[in-house]
Amino acid sequence: MFDTKALVPAITSIVLVRTITNELVPHELLHFFQSGIHHLFRQFSAQFTIVIEEFQGMARNQVFEAAEIYLGTKAATVSAERVKVSKSEDHKKLSFNIDRNEEVNDLFEGVSVKWKLICISVDSSRIRHYDRDSSSVAEIRSYELTFHKKQKNKIFDSYLPYVMEVARKVKQGNIALKIHSNDYSRWSHEPVKFNHPMSFNTLAIDEKLQREIVNDLDKFVKAREFYRRTGKAWKRGYLLYGPPGTGKSSLIAAMANYLHYDIYDLDLTVVGDNKSLRQLILGVSNRSILVIEDIDCTIKLQNREKDEEPVDNGSNKMTLSGLLNAVDGLWSCCGEEHIIVFTTNHKERLDPALLRPGRMDKQIHLSYCNFSAFKQLAMNYLCVNEHELFEKIQELLGQVKVTPAEIAEELTKDVEATECLQDLINFLHTKKMIKKEIKSEGNSNEDEHELGRENM
């Protein structure tokens, strides 16, 4: 048996020697020896450690933030004995974190690494980024990432970029989307959570058109290298046009949900002037959609040629070239991955400068409901994908112009599916009769009539 009593004098002597050393040897000299010993150890150690501090001056270190998120994905599965869990209002899911001084091992392409969260308490007056009013003690946090020296290149070139990428994806999936609105020259400080449930699975538009839009978006987000190589600004402009209730705003919501981009809903009618507009455009963050609805009627934009003397109609000195320059010019020199969407009910009223190629990359016509769009609506609202009344509805949809919004209204009645579809047939019949009457009255401008009715 091991005699623990024998150890007591030895331990006592060590403690005594340490105490005497601490008392008699000056602090600086002690520190010098200690760091010398550390240095000696490092010479022989096969390990390499990267220190990732939380702050770089006043700014939060993005690598620290990424490490925190990345380790959160590991925390629930790895061997750590303590993990922290949290959820803020902005987050959709729970976040896990390793606790202070806890170690987490990770394996990347056969290479083992070790992460450790180091927290040191200090006097807050010594930290620049710290809010001094709140407390006199602050904490400096950093991660230590340790691995074998010979893996240095792999860790720098592959592992850290991989950690950043995983974190970006997690963040993207977890942060709730926001919709920003503007005043005279600024975006609201408190954007509203964007909860629109519309997606490409529920949007009722022609299947082929939908595929085309989704492919276009996919191509855009993957095209970082293309835009860098060609020196073009990484942005894409869409013009959505069509009668009210055909799904322009719904399509924007589906795009935002698909790409996981925030929406900046720019109300031009309240923007002060070109200077304020520039400020607003610069305030749009990367990976977001800037939306300008009803571009034809929200503001009287001057023609480019007449821009030299902007007409001051009341408080508004904003011009079309101001808008176009701000979008084209500012976004080409700063920011990336921007989508801009204009909507209008009257494409023919738009200034050609807005429509020239390169400005609006894609023009999307959203039109009246066809049978494939109707089937999507029937699925959304009634959970029905086949029905004996479908044939009659298909026939009527070929004869009358009806918007998805009108059909959606018919299908949300609180009655059983068959009755609902029968009501829709009656509704389509009535529309057909009205159309016949208009024709016999000699009014050939049917679309105008339709739009007028929709707008009432």
Tell me which residues touch ligand ATP (CB under 6 A).
203-205, 244-250, 345, 404-405, 408
Q: How far is the CB of 243 from ligand ATP (least distance, A)?
A: 7
Residue closer to ligand ATP, measured from CB, 246 or 302 = 246
Number of neighbouring beta carbons within 10 Å of residue 188: 12
| Shorter beta-carbon distance to ligand ATP: residue 237 or 247 | 247
246 binds, among ligand ATP, Mg ion, none (CB under 5 to 8 A by kind): ligand ATP
CA distance 403 to 367: 7
Residue 210 interaction partner, one of Mg ion, ligand ATP, none, beta carbon < 5-8 Å per kind: none
Distance of alpha carbon 89 from alpha carbon 75, whole angstroms: 21
* Closest-CA residue to 340 (of 266, 408, 394, 278): 266
Of Mg ion, ligand ATP, none, which one does residue 170 interact with (CB within 5 to 8 Å by kind)? Answer: none
Check: CB of residue 332 under 8 Å from CB of residue 233. Answer: yes
113 touches, from ligand ATP, Mg ion, none (C-beta below 5 to 8 Å by class): none
Q: Shortest gap between Cβ of 249 and Mg ion (angstroms)?
A: 3
Other CB atoms within 10 A of residue 182 CB = 21
Which residue has its beta carbon closest to ligand ATP? 247
| 215 conformational bin, left if phi > 0, alpha if psi -120 to 50, beta if neither | alpha
Q: Judged by CB, which is closer to ligand ATP: 249, or 288? A: 249
Shortest distance in whole angstroms from residue 191 CB to Mg ion = 19
Minimum CB separation from ligand ATP for residue 427, in Å?
Answer: 15
133 φ/ψ angles, rounded to the nearest 5 degrees? -70, -25
Tell me the closest approach of the beta carbon of residue 245 to Mg ion, in angstroms: 8
Nearer to ligand ATP, 237 or 245 (CB): 245
- Site for Mg ion, residues 2 to 41, rule: CB under 5 A: none
Among 210, 246, 249, 376, binds Mg ion (CB under 5 A): 249
- Residue 405 interacts, among ligand ATP, Mg ion, none and using kind-specific CB cut-offs from 5 to 8 Å, with ligand ATP
Total site size for Mg ion, rule CB under 5 A: 2
- Residues 395 and 344: their CA atoms lie apart, in Å, by 29
Closest separation in Å from C-beta 263 to Mg ion? 13
Number of DSSP helices (H) and strands (E) in the chain, helices first: 18, 15
What does the per-residue mask of binding to Mg ion show for 361-380, with x meaning CB under 5 A?
Answer: --------------------
From residue 372, give the alpha-carbon distance in Å to each of 25, 345, 367.
86, 23, 13
For 134, residues 6+ apart whose C-beta sits below 8 A from its C-beta are 124
Q: Is 246 in the site for Mg ion (CB under 5 A)?
A: no
Residue 278 interacts with, from Mg ion, ligand ATP, none (CB under 5-8 Å by kind):
none
Using CB distances below 5 to 8 A depending on partner kind, what does residue 360 bind out of Mg ion, ligand ATP, none?
none
What's the token pair of residue 25? 């040897």
DSSP string for 390-405? HHHHHHHHTTS---HH
Is 264 in contact with 180 (CB distance < 8 Å)? yes
| Of 142 and 210, CB closest to Mg ion | 210
Residue 158 and residue 122 in contact, taking contact as beta carbons nearer than 8 Å: no
Task: Tell me which H or E stretch contains 284.
Answer: none
On whether the CB atoms of residues 382 and 390 are closer than 8 A, the answer is no
Tokens for 328, please give them: 């084209």
Q: Which residue's structure tokens are 């380790």?
A: 71
> Which lies closer to Mg ion via its Cβ, residue 236 or residue 248?
248
- We find the least distance from the C-beta atom of residue 89 to Mg ion, in angstroms, to be 28
Cβ closest to ligand ATP, residue 250 vs residue 274? 250
Query: Which residue's CB is nearer to ligand ATP, number 328 or number 423?
Result: 423
Residue 103, SS3 per DSSP: strand
Considering the complex, state which of residue 233 and residue 378 has its C-beta at the smaller distance from ligand ATP.
Answer: 378
Residue 179, SS3 per DSSP: strand
Please state the closest distance from residue 240 (CB atom) to Mg ion, in A.
Answer: 9
Contacts with Mg ion by CB under 5 A lie at: 248-249
